[in-house]
Amino acid sequence: MESEELLIPEERAELLRVARKAIAEKLGGVTWKPDEPLTERLAEVQGAFVTLHLRGMLRGCIGYIMGVKPLYLTIAEMARAAAFTDPRFPPLKEREFGKIDIEITVLSPLKKIYDPDKVVVGTHGLLVKRGPYQGVLLPQVPVEQGWDRETFLDHTCMKAGMRSGCWRDDDTEILVFTGEVFGEGE
């Protein structure tokens, strides 16, 4: 079951600790063994992304748009994936580890919309799909880039490998979600 209930500060801190520990243990050649979750909320199945920044620049970002396993396990797995298997970046080096900032985005369930004017920049993340193509952008992306709604929709189409403006086509689905975003830099 995916929750829209916000995490308490201790749960946020625990997920950040889990993410950093999972990366550190992989760097050290240790097989990560999860502790039991701090709360029942952290054991709920929910989608999430882990984003790594190095000196303010993206260094990796991977996640599950929908929940497939308990949140604390998703965070550990996605932290390792963002650090070591994001195809846009080389694997994280030990010398970089102390310099990265970890950001987590815990996702709400997806909701299909039929009116693109309902997309709220700064609140919604997007999943745009048609046939075998789909692209996802998190809610913080258009804010960081200074995009308006149409630019956000265009970039999500392009991330899916489709042409800009594909969101206007009747056979393109637009789904929105919200994200609870927190990180070490707070």
Could you read off the pLDDT of 113-136 as tens digits, one per residue?
999 999 999 999 999 999 999 999
Domains 9-107 and 111-178 share a fold: no
Mean pLDDT, range 4-10, rounded to an integer: 86
What pLDDT sits at residue 81?
Answer: 97
Residue boundaries of the structural domains of the chain: 9-107, 111-178
Please report the pLDDT score of residue 6 as a whole number: 87
Angle, CA of 44, 14 and 102, to the nearest 5°: 105
d(CA 22, CA 17): 8
> In this structure, are residues 10 and 66 in contact, taking their beta carbons and an 8 Å threshold?
no
CATH architecture of residue range(s) 9-107: 2-Layer Sandwich (3.30)
Give the homologous superfamily in CATH for domain 111-178.
Hypothetical protein ph0010; domain 2 (3.30.1490.150)
Average pLDDT, the chain: 93
* Res 1: pLDDT: 44
| 56-114: pLDDT as tens digits | 899 999 999 999 999 999 999 999 999 999 999 999 999 999 999 999 999 999 999 99
Share of the chain above pLDDT 90, in %: 87
pLDDT-derived band at 33, boundaries 50, 70, 90: confident
Lowest mean pLDDT among 2-11, 54-63, 156-165: 2-11
Distance from C-alpha of 72 to C-alpha of 95, rounded to nearest angstrom = 26
CA neighbor of 164 nearest in space, from 154, 172, 156, 173:
154
Half-sphere exposure of 79 (CA within 13 A, CB side): 28
- Predicted pLDDT of residue 2: 53
Mean pLDDT of 127-149: 94
